[in-house]
Structure 1
């Protein structure tokens, strides 16, 4: 049963990530995006560490240092790279390049290091979903392509792909709660210098505190916990493609909560993303069922 629901855990995580943009819109004015990123990692990491301690999940014996360091560095790098890309080259281009490149880069990493070639269904789903993402973001805004912003957006996409691949290895030996607690606490420590450079007074206001708690505990801690649980049962490339539900959720929240308007092209993008992600979820379940059927048939022969 767990194998069949792995993709759904990833989708739930992406939906929680999709609330990030709406929450940031509700943050106090002149709040720097990188400051928000640093705060969400700190709150998320520390809250998950407390939960892990209360659950008695802390086990430092034989903790794999290399994949943990890679995952923490990747997550810490993602925040400034993504927000800088959006600032330099615009929300539309920055988001499409960062989020759209992550599945392709994830598939390449999995192919190179795990010797696992992505399936034709994955390629089809990824292509349709990325096309939908492009239509969703790139039709209502003037497009400004800045080479530096593109490089940073690609760096953000690579960071998320590397984080997912490294976390996939960690989930096989460690509880997801402890994984998220350790990785995000380390990531927050790596981003801590920004606290002394950027204005953090916003977090002391009532609205700023609520936003930081939501971003840290829900859109980061809980979301990445669900993501880690899902990673136990699906390939890293599949998980990254399913995470495209994040911009889809953000766009729909913008329509229904912030009063934003999507034109026909945007709605076509929404339909393509729903179709691409739905195809991957359906085929993932079907593939697991077929594998179990073949296994039972093989066992019955002997």
Structure 2
């Protein structure tokens, strides 16, 4: 019973984190005079510092264990640093909805590949079914976007934005996988996330230095960076790390497909982006994908016990 409770706690934590992350594109859209690299670097820097400060007691206990796994720590830190730079640049070039969709939708596939090739974990039929439904839903979301001034952008820029979204998806899957491996190796979830983000904060200082010209030019830009750093990143990744205690990285990244749903709804309701009926069918399919992921399949021991009782 406790394992089932933990499983649903993990799902709930990641769903809430995804809601918070879904607001980042809307917030960043109000800082058009600021480089997306600067927004991503500063917000992640703020979030990383807060994670380290609030998790310092756990870090003091676990830092030696983390340093004993330098390859994992380095891969995770680099992935965390790359993600916001690629993610916010993708949204700037391709639009909020599509940039978020590509970045998040590609992550579950990368996470599953990492789980299978490196961790040698079994990928269930439930995961594949859920992924296919979610992927179709994401495609319909992209195709369902009505023409607007965003489509007047240079085609090469939009293609490059989609490519950056895939880079962001790979980075997201990589640091999710690293965080899960650290947790499995005995590191507390808060130490895992705060350690990765703390190291990434150092790596983000050079991009911030070279791209942050207009970052402090007005209160709006500062407020947006503070919001993204404190709410989606700091609070979101505390919840995400907690959720990884109970579910695999491949499943966690699949659940976060709710993030582009939130980003799409906000883009429609607040910014005025419009979607055709086919786009809303995509919303329903992604919701079905998430529903499938909330169903915990019975363990092998449970199935065996049921067979014994039936005999």
Please report the TM-score for the alignment, with normalisation by the length of structure 1: 0.86
Aligned partner of residue 202 in structure 1, secondary structure: coil
1:20 to 9, 16, 24: 24
Which residue number corresponds to residue 182 of structure 1? 195
Counterpart among 9, 13, 26 of residue 13 in structure 2: 9
Residue in structure 2 matched with residue 125 of structure 1 by the alignment = 130
CA distance, structure 1, for counterparts of residue 271 and residue 159 of structure 2 = 31
Are 1:31 and 2:43 counterparts? no
By how many angstroms is 1:31 displaced? Answer: 1.4
**Shift, 1:98, TM fit:** 3.0
* 1:227–1:56 distance in 2 versus 1, CA, 3 Å: closer
RMSD: 2.8
Q: Confirm whether residue 49 of structure 1 aligns to residue 52 of structure 2.
A: yes
Structure 1 position 205 matched with structure 2 position 240: no
Between the aligned partners of 2:122 and 2:102, the Cα distance in structure 1 is 23
Query: TM-score if structure 2 supplies the norm length?
Result: 0.83
Alpha-carbon shift at residue 151 of structure 1 (Å): 4.2
Using the TM superposition, give the Cα deviation of residue 73 of structure 1 relative to its aligned residue in structure 2, in angstroms.
0.6
Rounded Cα–Cα distance in structure 1 between residues aligned with 2:214 and 2:182: 36
The answer for the alignment partner of 1:140 in structure 2 is 146
Aligned partners of 1:171 and 1:229 also within 8 Å: no
- Structure 1 alignment gaps of length 5 or more: none
What secondary structure sits across from 2:65 in the alignment?
coil
Aligned 8 A contact 2:51 2:234 in 1: yes
Q: Deviations over 1:234-280 (max 9, x none)?
A: 11111111111111111122334445443312211111111111111
Match of residue 179 from structure 2: 167
Shift of 1:150: 4.8
Q: Quick one: distance in 1 between partners of 2:246 and 2:133?
A: 23
Does the alignment pair 1:229 with 2:242?
yes
Deviation at 1:188, TM superposition (A): 1.9
Tell me, which stretches of 5 or more residues in structure 2 are unaligned? none
Q: In 2, Cα distance between the equivalents of 1:183 and 1:260?
A: 35
Instruction: Give the Cα separation in 2 of the matches to 1:93 and 1:246.
Output: 12
Matched-pair contact (CA < 8 Å) for 2:81–2:204: yes
